[in-house]
A and B are shown apart, each in its own frame.
Chain A
Amino acid sequence: MSEILDKLFECVEFGKINAASPYPPQLKGQDGASEYTQKALAQGLSPAEIMDTALIPAMTKVGQKFSENKIFVPQMLLSAKAMNAALVYIKPYFSSGEIKRKGTFIMGTVNGDLHDIGKNLVCMMVEGAGWDVIDLGVDVGPEKFVESLKQHPDAYVGMSALLTTTMPNMKVIIDAIREVNPKTKIIVGGAPVSADFAASIGADAYAGNPQEDVEALERFREECA
């Protein structure tokens, strides 16, 4: 890996967004993911190489560290912000087809629930793993999930709930999705959600953290291949 890609990997792993960001302390005053991505492109590195060699592996490592309780939500969000700062310069190549995406993932926080932190983490991690992500936002009811699925019939669906009081809405949404497309693969997660609960409402997978969303999507993709 080139030195620039090494640096970019480090910036994403430790959440160094850009030169102005004071975090992390050990990289203070240095360039961040934004600057290194621009430099990499200017040096002629391909967007696909930048994604495959630096950004995706860095976010995979971040996801692993999170699932092992070595880092927590703030550190992961900063890594995701660094990833997004890099993607600003990479995304134009998505639409040109130069970078092939793995598929489409529709994600939202269920109706009655305005918490977005888990959803945001999942969206950032899944996008960072090479997927197109459609973020439906918070307080999303069955109609909006179904509408989005009609526009993207091959998409996978994820939903989050942070409240014990809104978890039951997941089943209503799953039932609505199944009516339209019984084969759609659905992942559920959120602080109070458990694997038992996921199974009880007919979800295809439970994700206890964003990395498990990525792993479930990879599993689904292999099953469909």
Chain B
Amino acid sequence: MSFLHAASKIIDTTDSDLWIAGRGTPCFEFPASLEKRFAELAYSVPGVEQTSRICTRIVSFRKPDGDEQLVTLVGAESGAGPRFPLPLVSPAQSAMQPDSLLIDESAGKLLNTTGPLPLQVELNDRRARVVGRISGFSSFLGTPYAFASYSDAAHFLALRTPETMFILVKLRAGAEVENVKRNLQQRLPNTNVLTRAEFSRKAQTYWTSQTGAGTAILGAALLGLFIGIAVVSQAVYATTMEHIEEFATLKALGANSWFVVKVIIFQALASGVSGFLLGVALSGPVIHRAQSLIPWLAEQRGLSMAILPLTIAICIVASLLSVRAALRVEPARVFRA
């Protein structure tokens, strides 16, 4: 879940209704270039209230101590929305500080920007200042994000004047999203016009199903699931075999198969729920530690509760082996001393 959120974090942070991207652009991180004039063309489409631009690319960041580190520079115009991190002069004004950068606090150590602000740095050999720290924008590709105004970012990236990367479109109140989207696509046939949700999903799909990253994470999750089933299964089986004489006694006393199954399932659930509670308690500190290696990793409180039914299902599946052993035990063995 953290991976999916991280894969579309930048897209989801904007408040635009539509995104215009170069044809074949799979996600925010790998844009195809667009002509800057498309923004004016889009603005002329009925229903469009505002257009703004975003650009991004990996650039070289020279730290205050002189060392170099690659960062993903994101530049946006103020139309990206109030939640989008931009070096505004003040929260009430849309004007932006010149040559200024915002850096996520998770990258403070890596970029050596933990000291007092502003800090002088260089981006692609051009001078810049780190003026603020933000949170919630941890590195996704392994390169920390740096946020700047669109004009500064275009300057740092040495974008050609007629070039841009994404155009964000905000609609007038009452405008039909699908109508405007269709009109924009007709007006700009060599682009992809997508709603924010569509582009977000497209990026998530790209990272999960078309790159090794998603497969690796899914594979690790499945492996964890199978290991979980195997471990719980072994634990429940060992406990059942340890108490097999008690199951024989239960059967001799007249317990039917359902009674025996209930005892085993209860036993499996008790270990499962204890393990779940322990896991939930440990996940916070473990995730906190792991964030130094995987910055986008985040604790999903809601997901923990969603895992509970899965844990219960694993316990029930894992107890099947034990159920078989307990049901097959011969009750007549109770008379052997």
The yes or no verdict on A and B being binding partners is: no
